[in-house]
Structure 1
């Protein structure tokens, strides 16, 4: 769902270097100078490859500028990709590209447009090096989507919509551990719900609720290791998106509920 953002930091590092360029007499000379500066910085960055992208298990393995496309190649574990990736159709949609544009500093977006550049991102399997997804957004398409976005003709995917795409990929019911199943997942309001079924009949009045605090700690620790959540810290916090686990017994009787807020996940 969320890997579309991981190359943005590289774009920032690269394009900020040319913000102070003088204005040559001609646009061609200006663009030539800008591209040369980008190539020089890419060479510096490439000398540090591969490197791990902060808070993730994603590794940046390639950076190239050719055919007016800044190409970022990343690799990751295929199992993680299967869980967290966005379907290619949605990833290549105008709304997703609009979301990427919104996350890029306006100054950088202007420089992309000014120098007639686009970008491309490629994700590969860490073990086999097989390409998992490759999407190119050429200069003309980038301009067209930006224009639609500026005119209010399209809106970027919301974070809750991205969660919904991720949920649709789940093969529910699925076993979480012996005797415990994930039996449903859905969005309601600003909350993402996960229903967990325990394979036994339980009496709510006899349930040991003192264990909920420890269960919440374990859930928070697991969520903090989830790249898709860490990538969206600011948006989750700003929109107060909560994650709620609902525990039921094998008769469907609700036993307990654990609510996890952005503060729980992202506090130091």
Structure 2
């Protein structure tokens, strides 16, 4: 098989090789008993694919993820656009943003749990904060990257502010927005599961914590694998939407060609 034809298969081959190593090391006793063989994890997944409780947890996590992503994308895009377009807003908010952005979202979790309890609102709020930062950065740099010559030319030709936004700013910012949403999606899912795990809020995180606490390790790793597959599916979905939305963009036209 030619190297060019083999290249698309490399990720699959690498994953298969790692799983095979895991299976051999676990079955031979090299790994501790807390790490069961891949075959046991796979068997648990197959046996529980039709379990209602598991899919209820998946639905709860996806609900947290969707609400948090919508809120984070809206807030991040609004703040990033305002900071990039309005110098006064940028001066007022830069210090606050640079102070808050490095703080992990798990830090305020104990306070939120004390105030609101182990509720979905806590998960959504903190996961939305996690989604805000990549969206803010991408929007900020996207607006700043808009060609000033194109912007000035549109103004000279008499386009209104709304028309300049639609025909000049939006096409220039859209690639950054698509990347920001895709990054925020992954971060939001990770944050939501982490908040569910730590706060014992119903969802995949709480399910994972229950299995880990009770020593049901094949189920625990099965849930971990399921969350990884869920993240991969969501990322692939956003990549597909990005390709459709940006099929006019030079980078995507070159890839299609």
Q: TM-score, normalised by structure 2?
A: 0.24
- The answer to which structure, 1 or 2, has the higher relative contact order (CA under 8 A, 6+ apart) is 2
More helix by share: 2
